A and B are shown apart, each in its own frame.
Chain A
Amino acid sequence: MLSQFQASYRRMDQSLQRLTDSIAAYNPSTAAADELVAADDALNEDLGTLIQHQRNVLRIEELKRIAQDNDDRIKAHFRAVAELRKELAAIPSTSTSASARSVSIDELLSYARFISPTTLPPTFRKQDVPAQSLSRTADTESQPHIANGIATPPPGTHDDSQPGTTALVNGSNIGTRALKDEEKAWLDSVASLPFVPWPEQPTIANGALGQIQLMLEQGKDPATVLSPTERAAEEEKRKVEEEAERAEEEEKRRRRVEMFDAAGGRKRGREEESDVFDPDA
């Protein structure tokens, strides 16, 4: 670039010199003037190129700056993302077993409704529970040390509770043992609870096992009760047997009719024809 400029300057210079020489020699040559104009144009062109060149340099600088800025910004973003990811991983998450046991809300609510009657009566208030039944544990623990039958029952035991409490316990075996005072006491404490979160003895006795017990006591063998599939199989068998019987009867009737036809030559339509010999036939 610089050499190009220098060449233009030199050219300009030379042409100017030539012109001034020619003017000094009283021989102005128009060619020299033209040459000068041309040199001037060339110089202008070069200046224009220079301006362009400078502008380009500035633009390049600016673009370099912008690129640097963008690079820095990207680096900052990447760093921020990495930090966030680290933070995210550092959050204490619930163990995977929780997700395996996740339950839908509907299931949960329906199950809550299912067990609510057996969990606590809605009218229950804890202050209604007599404190003596809760403190009874202290008394009963000391009772085994007292001689059997001699100790007076702890205060609050009801004498009329005995027939009721024997019925409470599963009667088949416990009822045969005589209740001692201490047992009366603890039975009473358990019975005096306003609510228990388990099935009571009558409930158990009316259940499946209770029914099986009843059947055994009545002498029926529970194994003879057929399951639905077995019942269906039995019905099928019975139907088949009945059909076989009916087919046999039809056969017999047909044979009888044939015999009559062969013997008397007359067709008897009535099927209740007796086999007694009829001399008029």
Chain B
Amino acid sequence: MNPNGTAPPSRPRDPDFYAGYTRFEIECEFVQSLSNPLYIQHLALNKYLDDPAFIAYLAYLDYFRRPEYLKFLLYPGPTLRALELLQQEQFRKDAVTPALIEAMALEGFEAATAGTQV
């Protein structure tokens, strides 16, 4: 390891590796944490959803829809639903309201428990 503890300036940053994790690991974790409506609300309240670069990144994350990447998702249903909703501008605007977030949470819960007998 470098003795001074600071990053050597000459080495270019590896785009696929950061802080001990591969880029795929980080992206996979992020996209799945989007399935939690409370996290989406946190992003909305911190104005992340107003940044066009962030929205473009969310559109890029749509590659998890493909079968070869889908198989890595532990929460496939809510994740893809969240990705789909986040592409709608109205949803991004309304994500700050607690009512919408609660509705989304209940929708996810209902969808997950739909197959069980009442």
* Interface residues of A, Cβ cutoff 8 Å to B: 101, 103, 107, 111, 114-115, 118-120, 124-127, 129, 134, 136-137, 140-141, 144, 168-170, 173-174, 182-183, 186-187, 189-190, 193, 195-201, 204, 207-209, 211-212, 215, 221-227, 230, 234
Contact = CB atoms under 8 A, between A and B. Distances in A.
Contacts of A111: 71
A137 B106 contact: yes
Contact of B30 (A129, A174, A209): A209
A125 B116 contact: yes
B35 to A, nearest CB: 4
Nearest to A208: B21
Contacts of B55: none
B13 to A, nearest CB: 6
A54 B96 CA distance: 107
B116 A224 contact: no
Interface of B: 1-2, 5-7, 11, 13-14, 16-21, 25-26, 29-30, 32-33, 35-39, 41-42, 45-46, 67, 71, 73-79, 97-99, 101-103, 105-106, 108-109, 111-113, 116-118
A190 B38 contact: yes
Contacts of A190: 37-38, 101-102, 105
Nearest to B18: A222
Nearest to A115: B74
B33 A124 contact: no
Contact of A124 (B1, B42, B113): B113
Given A183-B98, A197-B77, A170 B19 contact: no
Nearest to A173: B46
A211 B18 CA distance: 11
Contacts of A224: 2, 5-7
Contact of A189 (B7, B18, B74, B102): B102
B118 A126 contact: yes
Q: Shortest 4 CB-CB distances between A and B: which pairs?
A: A222-B19, A227-B17, A198-B35, A197-B112
B69 to A, nearest CB: 12
A227 B14 contact: yes
Given A137-B103, A215-B19, A204 B39 contact: yes
14 contacts: A115-B76, A125-B117, A169-B38, A169-B41, A190-B38, A196-B36, A198-B108, A199-B36, A204-B29, A209-B29, A211-B21, A212-B26, A225-B18, A225-B19
Contacts of B103: 137
Contact of B112 (A103, A119, A168, A187): A119
A175 to B, nearest CB: 11
Nearest to B35: A198
Given A173-B42, A186-B101, A225-B20, 5 more contacts: A101-B67, A182-B98, A189-B102, A197-B35, A207-B29
Give the residue among B11, B98, B99 with the most A Cβ atoms within 10 A.
B98
Nearest to A182: B98
Contacts of A144: 97, 99
B112 A223 contact: no
Nearest to B113: A126
B80 to A, nearest CB: 12
B102 A201 contact: no
Contacts of A189: 102, 105-106
Contacts of B111: 197
A170 B71 contact: no
B29 to A, nearest CB: 5
